[in-house]
Amino acid sequence: MTVYATYNIKGGVGKTAAAVNLAYLSARDGHRTLLWDLDPQSAATYYFRIKPKVKGGGRKLVRGKSDLARRIRATDFEGLDLLPADFSYRNLDLYLDDQKKPERRLSRLLKPLRKEYDYIFLDCPPSISLVSESVFQAADALLVPMIPTTLSLRTSEQLRSHLLQGGPRRRLRIYPFFCQVDRRKNLHKSICAAGSEMAYPALETVIPSSTVVEQMGVRRKPVLEFAARSQAADAFRQLWKEVQSRS
């Protein structure tokens, strides 16, 4: 089992779009795939038309009191399951703080699912918190979507210093990639070009700024399902290939 987490300190950069479409592609390749929507805004859950509700809420889940496996729901796509978001996830930090070794919590919760899934995607809320700490421990790789602006480059730097803070940790791969890229903007072009020189070198794939990605909220489906021939769909396919070839 490989765990990917889409993560960025900033919000609204395309974490959920990436998680939903990559998880969809993984399932379509025949891999048993689970997407865990950790964001209380529950966008991923919404895209799959699933009720954003977890029986017992985040507190019971974190305590290990409710059976994670029984909260999982099948999506409309074969091989792709979802662990829905719940509004109580906004307090996930507090719940984690009650636990011993809170940063290990998530990976312990995922342990029983190892045999059931080939790939698990974690769609994380923006911020640096105990939740993200826990995600860093559980994930094999972080997929970090970034809009090519000066600010986002700073975030990359922040992430790096944060990750280095805790001293040596187990090998966590970091794959930043640019999204919502507008090729007509000179700034976007020049920042993308410098992607390989960032603190963590960016992936080669670039997700273009596109209306079909925005339409996901209206269609409530992965882009690859309703606009398979679009540029954005191609970009996600390429991204999935690149991520897999790196792992």
Partner 1 sequence: MRSGTARIYLCSSREPLDRLKKKFAIRKEVQPPERWTLYDSFDWRLFHAALTLRARRENSSWLLQLRNTNGLVHRLTLPRMRAFAREFPQGALRRRLEAELDVRRLLPRLRLHSTRERLRVVDGRRKTVCRLQWSRARAARAGTRQSRQLSARLRVEPLRGYGKPFQELTRFLENELGLQPEPRPLLEEALQAAGLDPQAYSSKVRVTLEPDLRADEAARCIHRQLLANIEANLEGLVADLDPEFLHDFRVAVRRTRSALAQIKGVFARPSLRRFRREFSWLGRVTGPVRDLDVYLLNLPGYRKDLPPDTRPGLAPLAEHLQRLKRDEHRKMVAALGSARYRRLIRGWKAFLSRPAPGRTTLPNAARPIREVASERIWRAYRKVIDRGRSIDVRTAPEKLHRLRIDCKKLRYLLEFFRSLYPANEVDRLVSALKKLQDNLGDYNDYVVQQATLESIAAEGDDSHRLPAETLLSVGRLLERLARKQQGERNRFSKRFAVFSNRENSATFSNLFESR
Q: How many Cβ atoms are within 10 Å of 197's Cβ, its own excluded?
A: 8
Task: Please give the residues from 101 up to 160 whose contact with partner 1 meets the rule CB under 8 A.
Answer: 116-117
Q: Which of 3, 13, 23, 50 binds partner 1 (CB under 8 A)?
A: 50
Report DSSP letters for 214-235, one per residue.
HHHHHHTS-HHHH-TTSHHHHH
Q: Which of 19, 25, 26, 79 binds partner 1 (CB under 8 A)?
A: 79
Which amino acid is it at 17? A
Closest CA to 223 of 234, 231, 212: 212
Taking the C-alpha atoms of residue 61 and residue 134, their distance in angstroms, rounded to an integer, is 14
Is residue 47 at the binding interface for partner 1, with CB under 8 A as the rule? Answer: no
Q: Which of 74, 94, 164, 228 binds partner 1 (CB under 8 A)?
A: 74
Is residue 228 at the binding interface for partner 1, with CB under 8 A as the rule? Answer: no
Which region among 11-19, 63-71, 99-107, 167-175 touches partner 1 (by CB under 8 A)?
63-71
Is residue 76 at the binding interface for partner 1, with CB under 8 A as the rule? Answer: yes
Which region among 48-56, 146-154, 165-173, 225-233 touches partner 1 (by CB under 8 A)?
48-56
Pick between residue 80 and residue 144 the one whose CB is nearest to partner 1: 80
Q: Shortest gap between Cβ of 32 and partner 1 (angstroms)? A: 5
Q: How many Cβ atoms are within 10 Å of 102's Cβ, its own excluded?
A: 18
Pick between residue 76 and residue 157 the one whose CB is nearest to partner 1: 76
Taking the C-alpha atoms of residue 146 and residue 198, their distance in angstroms, rounded to an integer, is 12
- Beta-sheet strand order (sheet of 2-6): 73-74, 80-83, 33-37, 119-123, 2-6, 141-146, 173-181, 206-208
Is residue 69 at the binding interface for partner 1, with CB under 8 A as the rule? Answer: yes
Provide the b/e sequence for 69-89 (b: ≥16 CB within 10 Å). eebbeebebebbbbbbbbebb
Q: Which of 11, 12, 30, 112 binds partner 1 (CB under 8 A)?
A: 30
Question: How many binding residues for partner 1 (CB under 8 A)?
Answer: 18
Is residue 67 at the binding interface for partner 1, with CB under 8 A as the rule? Answer: no
Q: Shortest gap between Cβ of 19 and partner 1 (angstroms)? A: 18
Taking the C-alpha atoms of residue 20 and residue 3, their distance in angstroms, rounded to an integer, is 14
Taking the C-alpha atoms of residue 107 and residue 111, their distance in angstroms, rounded to an integer, is 6
Residues that bind partner 1 (CB under 8 A): 30, 32, 48-51, 69-74, 76, 79, 81, 116-117, 220
